């Protein structure tokens, strides 16, 4: 019997005061190595002294920024040197770079103060007797502990700001599709001139010297503030132009907005770019200089019409029925699907429209089942489409005509279109099979991913993004049946990293799998062209995977994934472009099947909770790399996600965790799975999706609040023992995980987490269990007053498929006063699903 997913309707009943954290004792990183400590401390003091002297004579003012590199064992919050040494009132932390790298604002006096505190750290190892073990253990002062936590301190320099050559830059910017402007991120916003009197002398000198530096170059430079690129991270577009007027500065809020005049022609003279980059490389206000991206479609449509099937009877839109809704952000959908297109965002001239890519995507979500069968497209055919045609044909070179400022203007147009589709038609699921020709970096949250996340948050929508395709010459060898051979193929691969903006933290990125029934590849193995993660170090990317067509054409079926051409004829194609809409269609079907408003966290959580890693990747040797290829796996149909059999139950807990709170939801284990003495058998899977605050200034540490969930069993002493494991913990880890390992493998700080465990022989001695949700803030961060929204999804099942788990759990919960209901109709009686 099919039983619906159950949602907890009274989550507020399980909010409790947050348990106070112990904080831990100070750690001596140089215990019993006193000579090494003294040398290390003296080295740090020398670095501080050198930086102080440099700032004192700096012509841009006596203020700058320094990079503090922590040793990996000091990455945890309790070990960070932010109390005795790097206190916020002395050297405020303004951002981060890679994991364990802090960026602080410094002045000569503050650096001398830090050095003075370091000098007070004791030379020798202090000890005490542990009251429980009666053994001697290190007992350092906070100063010694914090000195030991720091690997190095150095001023932020040119190599931190730029990683490309001048020649590479000029060659790239000469393409008008880029907008031709350097993207220059600043450590601080530049206030209006009327507010400069409120700045201290050093900061005023830094800003004045920055603006004066453009004028002093003596050639044409256009400097424009990019609007709303990333919250709290001011970014400028800086172009070298043919203009005798010199520097044109449009950087203040009052000057931002609609472009007043056409862009001046780009000047590619190498000497001028050398002068500009030298100035930017060495100015303390500049955080990063990067090259803009170019947006491309991530799929190829074959014109080979010999593939099967040969005929298609496109489903007919019934005006008396309701259907899932999906927005397609692309180059346009042809009239072959006009019966299903309920609205169009029309900004492109007919001459600049190429319907091929967008129509293939539209055909998959409208008629994918008829063309490919339920194994590939399990959802019922028929989807209402909003055609968000914002990407002009690449063949006409018109991108620069519509978006002369490059990608920021493209995202502006997309934002307006998404808001319109959401307001007019209630569309909350969008597909964007477009990627930017830059690989995602593990230590940086790109401005394009951040902008896409803002669009999702502002409109309460989810955008499904393709992971990106490799270039043809960079495709990996076809996946091998033998795991060792498959790993060797991955090791040899190059230029196959996840493409921006697929590292998005608020949306879902999708990789591609091979289709079944092909003669030249393994079904459901990673497609050879599909870009792989990791993206950012906080989380899993891509999130999910689906059939994207084969990168090695079959002799009969071609790529093995079929849709339609703009004229309605059937064709085959491959690309992550076509895997993404298959997952988006499942999300749209979920949103349609559940009454009322469904939170973004719940929709994403249901997809991920139901996903499965393809069998070919489930072998032990491949477990460390599987998530970088397929994320959490391939999701099933919406109906399978929303229903379970009699031998399992799925509970959804959708709420917010607020300051000073934790969630503890207590319940008894299903009686049929409890053995004598309280020993509990069964299987449990727990998925957590949250929307924590983000700050791109902190690089790889941009997620500022960690939400975690645990399934715990009561112990004999009244305490609680966690019973699940992250599905991505490396095998045979025999010691406690370091902070670095928890970030890398256990998804600490990741917005999405999945845990699971099977207990075939039973575990523990109590039938009392609880689902616990708690939070952890970064050092110096406070959880928002409105809290952090999250959805936790828990499935308890009997692997033997014998026990009546659903009925037992439901009856037990109702007897305890838990209000539960079918998730599909719960919106009638609860404000948050």
Q: Are 141 and 37 in contact (CB under 8 A)?
A: no
Residue 586 CA to residue 606 CA, distance in Å, equals: 10
Tokens, residue 773: 């949700």
The four Cα atoms 734, 739, 745, 750 give a dihedral, to 10 degrees, of 150
Q: Are 418 and 451 in contact (CB under 8 A)?
A: no
- Crossing angle of helices 270-282 and 201-217, in 10° steps, is 180
Question: What's the pLDDT score for residue 418?
Answer: 97
Residue 580 CA to residue 365 CA, distance in Å, equals: 10
Residue 131's contacts (CB-CB under 8 Å, 6 or more residues apart) are none
pLDDT 10s digits, 157-195: 999 999 899 999 999 999 888 889 999 999 998 888 888
Q: Are 486 and 479 in contact (CB under 8 A)?
A: yes
* CA neighbor of 13 nearest in space, from 705, 687, 816: 816
Mapped onto helix, strand or coil, the DSSP state of residue 412 is helix
Residue 449 CA to residue 236 CA, distance in Å, equals: 17
Q: Are 699 and 538 in contact (CB under 8 A)?
A: no
Tokens, residue 327: 């927005």
Residue 184 CA to residue 761 CA, distance in Å, equals: 59
Residue 779 CA to residue 495 CA, distance in Å, equals: 36
Residue 749 CA to residue 100 CA, distance in Å, equals: 13
Maximum alpha-carbon separation in the chain: 88
Residue 511 CA to residue 574 CA, distance in Å, equals: 12
* CA neighbor of 434 nearest in space, from 420, 423, 448: 448
Homologous superfamily (CATH) for 296-639: Peptidase S8/S53 domain (3.40.50.200)
Q: Return the exposure string of 612-632: e unless at least 16 CB atoms fall within 10 Å of the residue's CB, then b.
A: ebbebbeeeebbebbbbbbbb
CA 784-788-793 angle, 5° bins: 170
What letter would DSSP give residue 290? E
pLDDT 10s digits, 774-800: 999 888 889 999 999 999 999 999 999
CB atoms within 10 A of CB 119: 12
Domain residue ranges in the chain: 3-16+645-828, 34-158, 165-290, 296-639
- Which residues of the chain fall short of a pLDDT of 50? 254-257, 305-307
CA 363-459-96 angle, 5° bins: 105
Read out DSSP for 99-167?
TTEEEEEE-HHHHHHHHHHHHTS-SSPPEEE-TTT--EEE---HHHHHHHHEEEEEE--HHHH--S-HH
Question: What's the pLDDT score for residue 778?
Answer: 86
Residue 80 CA to residue 73 CA, distance in Å, equals: 10
Q: How far is CA 772 from CA 17, 323, 650, 661, in A?
A: 12, 37, 16, 11
The four Cα atoms 16, 21, 22, 23 give a dihedral, to 10 degrees, of -170
Question: What's the pLDDT score for residue 256?
Answer: 44
Mapped onto helix, strand or coil, the DSSP state of residue 666 is strand
pTM score > 0.75 for this model?
Answer: yes
CB atoms within 10 A of CB 159: 8
Residue 216 CA to residue 210 CA, distance in Å, equals: 10
Question: What's the pLDDT score for residue 307?
Answer: 44
Q: Are 299 and 578 in contact (CB under 8 A)?
A: yes
Tell me the CATH number of domain 3-16+645-828, given options 2.60.120.380, 3.40.50.280, 3.30.300.30, 3.40.720.10. 2.60.120.380
**Beta-bridge mates of residue 389:** 330, 346
**Torsions phi, psi of 385, nearest 5?**
-115, 140
Residue 334 CA to residue 299 CA, distance in Å, equals: 17
Mapped onto helix, strand or coil, the DSSP state of residue 283 is coil
């Amino acid at each position: 019997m099919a039983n619906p997913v159950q949602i907890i309707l009274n989550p507020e009943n399980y909010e409790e005061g947050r348990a106070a954290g112990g904080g831990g004792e100070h750690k001596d990183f140089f215990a019993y190595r006193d000579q090494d400590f003294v040398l290390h401390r003296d080295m740090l003091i020398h670095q501080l002294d050198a930086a102080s002297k440099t700032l004192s004579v700096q012509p841009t003012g006596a203020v700058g920024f320094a990079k503090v590199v922590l040793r990996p064992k000091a990455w945890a919050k309790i070990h960070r040197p932010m109390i005795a040494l790097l206190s916020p009132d002395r050297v405020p932390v303004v951002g981060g770079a890679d994991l364990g790298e802090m960026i602080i604002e410094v002045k000569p006096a503050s650096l001398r103060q830090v050095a003075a505190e370091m000098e007070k750290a004791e030379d020798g190892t202090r000890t005490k007797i542990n009251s429980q073990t009666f053994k001697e253990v290190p007992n350092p002062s906070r100063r010694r502990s914090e000195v030991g936590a720091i690997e190095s301190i150095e001023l932020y320099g040119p190599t931190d700001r730029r990683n490309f050559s001048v020649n590479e830059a000029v060659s790239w910017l000469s393409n008008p599709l880029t907008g031709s402007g350097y993207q220059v991120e600043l450590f601080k916003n530049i206030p209006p001139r009327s507010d400069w009197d409120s700045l201290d002398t050093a900061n005023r000198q830094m800003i004045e010297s920055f603006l004066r530096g453009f004028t002093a170059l003596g050639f044409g430079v256009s400097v424009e503030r990019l609007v709303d690129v990333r919250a709290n991270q001011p970014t400028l577009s800086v172009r070298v132009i043919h203009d005798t007027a010199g520097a044109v500065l449009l950087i203040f809020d009052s000057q931002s907005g609609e472009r007043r005049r056409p862009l001046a022609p780009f000047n590619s003279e190498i000497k001028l770019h050398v002068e500009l980059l030298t100035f930017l490389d060495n100015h303390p206000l500049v955080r990063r200089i990067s090259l803009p991206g170019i947006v491309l479609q991530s799929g190829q449509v074959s014109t080979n019409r010999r593939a099967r099937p040969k005929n298609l009877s496109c489903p007919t839109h019934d005006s008396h029925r309701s259907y899932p809704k999906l927005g397609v952000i692309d180059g346009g959908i042809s009239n072959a699907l006009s019966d299903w297109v309920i609205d169009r965002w029309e900004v492109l001239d007919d001459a600049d429209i190429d319907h091929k890519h967008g129509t293939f995507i539209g055909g998959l979500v409208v008629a994918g089942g008829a063309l490919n069968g339920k194994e590939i497209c399990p959802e019922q055919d028929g989807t209402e489409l909003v055609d968000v045609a914002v990407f002009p044909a690449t063949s006409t070179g018109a991108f620069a005509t519509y978006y002369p400022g490059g990608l920021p203007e493209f995202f502006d147009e997309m934002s307006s279109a998404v808001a319109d589709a959401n307001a007019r038609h209630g569309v909350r699921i969008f597909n964007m099979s477009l990627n930017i020709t830059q690989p995602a970096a593990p230590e940086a949250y790109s401005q394009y991913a951040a902008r896409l996340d803002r669009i999702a948050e502002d409109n309460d929508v989810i955008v499904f993004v393709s992971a990106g395709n490799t270039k043809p010459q960079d495709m990996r060898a076809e996946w091998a049946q033998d795991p060792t051979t498959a790993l060797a193929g991955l090791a040899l691969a190059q230029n196959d990293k996840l493409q921006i903006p697929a590292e998005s933290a608020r949306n879902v990125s999708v990789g591609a799998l091979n289709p079944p029934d092909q003669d030249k590849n393994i079904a459901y193995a990673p497609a050879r062209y599909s870009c792989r993660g990791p993206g950012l170090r906080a989380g899993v990317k891509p999130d999910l995977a689906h059939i994207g067509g084969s990168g090695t054409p079959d002799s009969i079926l071609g790529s093995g994934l079929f849709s339609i051409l703009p004229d309605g004829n059937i064709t085959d194609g491959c690309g992550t472009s076509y895997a993404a809409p298959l997952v988006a269609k499942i999300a749209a079907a979920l949103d349609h099947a559940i009454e009322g408003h469904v939170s973004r966290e719940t929709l994403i959580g249901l997809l991920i909770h139901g996903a499965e890693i393809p069998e070919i990747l489930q072998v032990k040797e491949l477990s460390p790399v599987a998530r970088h290829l397929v994320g959490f796996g391939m999701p099933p149909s919406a109906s399978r996600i929303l229903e379970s059999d009699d031998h399992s139950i799925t509970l959804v807990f959708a709420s917010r965790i607020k300051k000073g709170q934790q969630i503890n939801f207590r319940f008894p284990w299903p009686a049929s799975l409890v053995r004598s003495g309280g020993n509990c058998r069964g299987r449990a899977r727990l998925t957590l999706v949250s929307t924590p605050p983000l700050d791109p200034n902190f690089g790889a540490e941009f997620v500022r609040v960690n939400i975690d969930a645990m399934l715990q069993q009561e112990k004999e002493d009244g305490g609680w023992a966690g019973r699940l494991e992250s599905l991505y913990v490396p095998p045979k880890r025999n010691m406690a995980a370091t902070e670095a390992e928890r970030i890398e493998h256990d998804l600490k700080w990741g917005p999405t987490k999945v845990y699971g465990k099977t207990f075939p022989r039973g575990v523990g001695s109590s039938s009392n269990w609880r689902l616990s949700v708690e939070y952890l803030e970064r050092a110096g961060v406070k959880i928002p007053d409105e809290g952090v929204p999250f959805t936790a999804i828990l499935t308890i099942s009997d692997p033997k498929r014998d026990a009546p788990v659903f009925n037992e759990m439901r009856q037990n919960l109702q007897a305890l006063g838990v209000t539960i209901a079918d998730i599909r109709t719960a919106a009638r009686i609860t404000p948050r699903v």
